[in-house]
Amino acid sequence: MKETPTHLTDIQKWSNYVRIYTEAILGSSASGNRPEHKEGRNRNIAAATQKTAKNILIFSPHPDDETLTGSLALRLMHEGGHRIINISMTYGSNPARRKIRQQEQKSACEVLGFECVPVIEPDAFDRLNLKNEDHGGSPWEEKRQTLVEILKGYAPELVIFPHNQDKHKTHIATNQLVRDALMAHTASGKQILVVETEFWHPLYEPNLLVEAAPENVARMCAALACHETEMQRHPFHLFLPARLLDNTRRCSEFFSGFGADLPEILFSEVYRLRRIVNGSIEDTTRKMVVSAGTPINIKAFHDLF
């Protein structure tokens, strides 16, 4: 992704905002905390066009979900050179706002460096929730088959979507629909890594804690700010650094062991890593912490199983 002057200006503005949090915790010496290595980052983004790059899909229930839990995807793109494709499941429940929310999501994905496509052209699904769907029949089966075709077309190495207790009805339905599609897609012997996200309700058993360096937090704030109509209603972009700090507060001892030395991490996102093989879900009892100084490696995810 080529940075535009506007992107750089916005990210710098949000870097100053994130610095307020880092300095409050670490003191004024935090101004240079974990500087961004732009040359290496750009080199990795360029690597996403190489044949060795893996496709990673985000199934986002609404515009802004691609960003709110996007720490892992950002690092996989920057550090692994992988191609991130956001699949927009819906553009929200208000028909009058859908066109503008679609455009806002495209702008946010440009800031992040993600590709962005609707699950169906041109306007994604009109709605998605279990209460109003005939689960296992039509139109659920039609939606499931749409996702199977997407999985077949992109052949992703890893898929990201909300966990099944994430409170919001569209998040829960997205989990169920994506899982149904993954079961069908992998039934012939394929395997895919699955990363479940949390936002409206915490994961009960997360097993992956991923540090978000301050420059990535700033980029996510800038991307969220693109969702202008939604941020006017609920300013998630202003709360993002505090939420990522609280993730570290509540989860660091869960990962390192209660009473043990803690990882030196400020901002983090937590996930549940699973694997679907031959139409069945595989869980792992092992946990992984990926600090900003440790490159993310998809092979290491497979090694947890």
User: pLDDT tens for residues 21-76?
Assistant: 999 988 855 544 444 434 344 444 444 445 578 999 999 999 999 999 999 999 99
Q: Quick check: 5 pLDDT over 70?
A: no
> Given this model, what pLDDT does residue 185 score?
97
Band (278; pLDDT cuts 50, 70, 90): very high
> Given this model, what pLDDT does residue 271 score?
99
**Parallel, antiparallel, or unpaired: how do β-strands 268-277 and 208-211 relate?**
antiparallel
> Given this model, what pLDDT does residue 116 score?
98
User: pLDDT tens for residues 7-31?
Assistant: 666 899 999 999 999 999 888 555 4
User: pLDDT tens for residues 129-165?
Assistant: 887 676 777 799 999 999 999 999 999 999 999 999 9
> Given this model, what pLDDT does residue 2 score?
59
Q: What separation, in Å, do the N-terminal and C-terminal C-alpha atoms of the chain show?
A: 33
At residue 160, what is the residue type?
A: I
> Given this model, what pLDDT does residue 73 score?
98
Maximum Cα interatomic distance, the chain, rounded to a whole number of Å? 59
> Given this model, what pLDDT does residue 43 score?
42
**Parallel, antiparallel, or unpaired: how do β-strands 268-277 and 191-197 relate?**
antiparallel
Q: Which residues contact 259 (CB under 8 A, 6 or more apart)?
A: 253
> Given this model, what pLDDT does residue 4 score?
66
- What is 5-302's CATH number, 3.40.50.10320, 3.40.190.10, 3.40.640.10, 3.30.460.20? 3.40.50.10320
Band (267; pLDDT cuts 50, 70, 90): very high
Environment class of 84 (CB within 10 Å of its CB; exposed 0-12, middle 13-18, buried 19+): buried
> Given this model, what pLDDT does residue 129 score?
87
Nearest residue to 301 (alpha-carbon basis) of 196, 208, 205, 182: 208
Nearest residue to 220 (alpha-carbon basis) of 95, 32, 69, 91: 69
Kindly report the pTM of this predicted structure: 0.89
Are 172 and 130 a contacting pair, CB within 8 Å?
yes
Mean residue pLDDT across the chain: 90
> Given this model, what pLDDT does residue 33 score?
43
> Given this model, what pLDDT does residue 35 score?
40
Q: What is the mean pLDDT of residues 72-100?
A: 96
Domain range summary for the chain, segments of one domain joined by +: 5-302
User: pLDDT tens for residues 223-239?
Assistant: 999 999 999 999 999 99
Band (3; pLDDT cuts 50, 70, 90): low
Q: What is the mean pLDDT of residues 274-282?
A: 97
Question: What does the DSSP assignment read for the chain?
Answer: -PPPHHHHHHHHHHHHHHHHHHHHHH-GGGGGSS---HHHHHHHHHHTTSTTPPEEEEEESSTTHHHHT-HHHHHHHHHH--EEEEEE-BS-S-GGGHHHHHHHHHHHHHHHT-EEEESSTTT-BS---STTS-TTSTTHHHHHHHHHHHHHHH--SEEEEE-TT-SSHHHHHHHHHHHHHHHHHHTTS-EEEEEEE-SSS--SS--EEEE--HHHHHHHHHHHHH-HHHHHHS-HHHHHHHHHHHHHHHHHHHHH-TTSPPP--SSEEEEEEEEEETTEEE--S--EEE-TTS---HHHHHTT-
User: pLDDT tens for residues 97-135?
Assistant: 999 999 999 999 999 999 999 999 998 999 898 876 767
